[in-house]
Structure 1
Amino acid sequence: MAVHLQSSLFDQGDEIAVRPLGGLRREHLGHGAWIDVLPQWLQGADTLFGALADGVAWRAEERVMYERVVAVPRLQAFFGEREPLPHPALEAARTALSAHYGAELGEPFTTAGLCYYRDGRDGVAWHGDSSGRGSTEDTMVAILSLGAPRHLALRPRRPGPVPVRRQLGHGDLVVMGGSCQRTWEHAVPKTARAVGPRISVQFRPAGVR
């Protein structure tokens, strides 16, 4: 798949490697939810973006909305438990996340969902990853952002806390934890601005979707 990505000035190397997770900063959102953020966690993020853009069997999906069938505004791929991930760097990232959060989470990250936002016309509407255990239990979803920066927006389901927006791209990591999936919603808003392509990789524990 031919894409044009303007590389980050801060990530010039071709070697792909995860950096230590010691620099994570936690922000408590309210209602028992929190996020951890670590900019430029993955070295060589733009190289990995290119490998995934070309090497993953991306799916274009459709859904019913207001009695019409519409195209889902992004490409997707999913790798379940015990399925090999499409690049060794993703295996290394999942292993590092499981080791760092294992005691707090109580289980490893086991699945990986990939979303490919081709330009500003692609996005994802407000939602929580609550079709599984996230609807009733505290859990974590770790998102690795590759490619051009896009905003991740978060808002509370109940009034009180202030909504949050974080621009993520070029190897940035955000981890949504605590009650985040059931007390908050998140989205990648569409934009009329000229933006480059982005891939997000969502690592989840078993039974969280």
Structure 2
Amino acid sequence: MSAVFQPSLLDATADHEGPGPLGGHVHRTLLSDGAWIDVRPGWISGADALFTRLADTVPWRAERRRLYDNVVDVPRLLAFYDEGERLPDPLLDQAKAMLDDHYREELGEPFRTAGLCLYRDGRDSVAWHGDRIGRGSTEDTMVAIVSVGTPRALLLRPQGGGPTIRHDLGHGDLIVMGGSCQRTWEHAIPKSAKARGPRISIQFRVRGVR
């Protein structure tokens, strides 16, 4: 990694490692067109240790994609765990089980896959998009994102542009995008001109959504 990770002082004083409670601790914001987001700051205690384990043990890969007439480097490292594959850390199994339990009635199905992104520094990013490959293009769904490492801005806006909502996520924060969010809103991690330490996001998705 090209930047140094600065641990959180609050995380260093945590008396246990793992997810905290969700019920009564998640704040929901209703957006337009049936979209919503839930935010739970500091959901994962011991998130800095989890960041270190994932950074060191996940088989990160670099990708190249076609952009217009050029093939360019994807500005982040990636890993993907499909349905039935073993997740890279037991704490992620705990997190998935708690998300499944909390959202079971509303979602109607468990989360199935986990995609991981490593943003090495402020130069790594992801452009405006929605998770619309597969069912996300036509159905309401949920994408739950756990962030560990240095906080980075996650921006949301209505599809095609409009007022922007910003959440700085890291050190074990959770955001869940639900309802029509993937179809009617977009999200992005912008580049930062300031020096930024590394961050890992873990995206839990249901079957058939990418």
TM range (shorter): over 0.9
Tell me how far 1:14 sits from its aligned partner.
8.0
- For residues 83 and 131 of structure 1, the distance between their equivalents in structure 2, rounded to whole angstroms, comes to 20
Task: Check 1:2–1:84 CA distance in 2 against 1; reply closer, same or farther (3 A cut).
Answer: farther
Contact 1:2-1:54 at 8 Å conserved across structures:
no
Aligned Cα root-mean-square deviation (Å): 1.4
Q: How many residues align?
A: 208
SS in 2 for 1:70: strand
Q: Among all aligned residue pairs of Structure 1 and Structure 2, give the percentage whose two residues are the same amino acid.
A: 62
SS in 2 for 1:60: coil
Tell me what 2:5 maps to.
5
Tell me what 1:18 maps to.
19
- For residues 52 and 124 of structure 2, the distance between their equivalents in structure 1, rounded to whole angstroms, comes to 18
Tell me how far 1:177 sits from its aligned partner.
0.2
Matched, 1:97 2:107: no
Tell me how far 1:4 sits from its aligned partner.
2.5
Tell me what 1:194 maps to.
195
- For residues 8 and 158 of structure 1, the distance between their equivalents in structure 2, rounded to whole angstroms, comes to 36
Specify which of 59, 62, 78 is matched with residue 60 of structure 1. 62
- For residues 173 and 115 of structure 2, the distance between their equivalents in structure 1, rounded to whole angstroms, comes to 16
Tell me what 2:48 maps to.
46
Tell me what 2:138 maps to.
136
Specify which of 116, 119, 123 is matched with residue 117 of structure 1. 119
**Structure 1 unaligned regions, length at least 5:** none
Tell me what 1:34 maps to.
36
Contact 1:123-1:189 at 8 Å conserved across structures:
yes
- For residues 3 and 88 of structure 2, the distance between their equivalents in structure 1, rounded to whole angstroms, comes to 18
Tell me what 1:174 maps to.
175
TM-score normalised to structure 1 length: 0.96
- For residues 92 and 135 of structure 2, the distance between their equivalents in structure 1, rounded to whole angstroms, comes to 23
- For residues 157 and 52 of structure 1, the distance between their equivalents in structure 2, rounded to whole angstroms, comes to 32
TM-score normalised to structure 2 length: 0.96
Contact 1:146-1:169 at 8 Å conserved across structures:
yes
Task: Check 1:3–1:191 CA distance in 2 against 1; reply closer, same or farther (3 A cut).
Answer: closer
